[in-house]
Amino acid sequence: MTAASYWSELVASLIPEGEPDPDLFQLTLAGFHILCLSATSLVIRGLEIKVLAQLGYTPLLEQCVSCGQKLTENPMITFSVKHGGVMCTVCSNKAALQNLCNFSHEALNIWQQLIKMDLSKIHRLRITARALSILDEVIEEFLIAQLDYPLKSRPILKKMLSAAEE
């Protein structure tokens, strides 16, 4: 119930009013369906990433948002909500005083996979607790930046999930 009410709040907050969107409607229904089967943190991150991608709010994930460099060789990467994407090691160090979120190659890889992945297959993904927590923090900040306000049901759901998944 908590996960479903968060999903409703998320979709309702992100969609532009009065514009019919059959694909988004399908995703919304599919989201309720999968939450009935398993409302895990990973499934919720998957839904967040999918709805963001479908509405065109995908951050820059393929290269550094600041200098354009490929990220593969970078030992440390961060996520800049302000710039809307991932930052390479050099740019992260330069921008250290700005509010950068911790990020990792695993979190980046999972984000990219979740955009394309069929919802029914999300539970097969293997992800470390650390990457899951990084995605949670980054998506929270990213959503606040898009909406200008925090979603009310997100912290309630987070509390319930962390108690259930401990």
- 41 touches 165 (CB < 8 A): yes
The minimum distance between CB 138 and Zn ion, in angstroms, equals: 17
Structure tokens at 147: 């909406």
**Closer residue to Zn ion in complex, CB, 66/78:** 66
**Closer residue to Zn ion in complex, CB, 6/103:** 103
- Alpha-carbon distance of 18 to 42, in angstroms, equals 31
**Closer residue to Zn ion in complex, CB, 31/85:** 85
- Alpha-carbon distance of 80 to 120, in angstroms, equals 30
The minimum distance between CB 111 and Zn ion, in angstroms, equals: 18
Q: Which residues bind Zn ion (CB under 5 A)?
A: 64, 66-67, 69, 88, 91
**Closer residue to Zn ion in complex, CB, 41/78:** 78
CA 149 to chain centroid: 16
- 64 touches 91 (CB < 8 A): yes
Reported in sequence order, the residue ranges of the chain that DSSP labels E, i.e. its strands, are 78-80, 85-87, 100-102
The minimum distance between CB 98 and Zn ion, in angstroms, equals: 13
The minimum distance between CB 45 and Zn ion, in angstroms, equals: 25
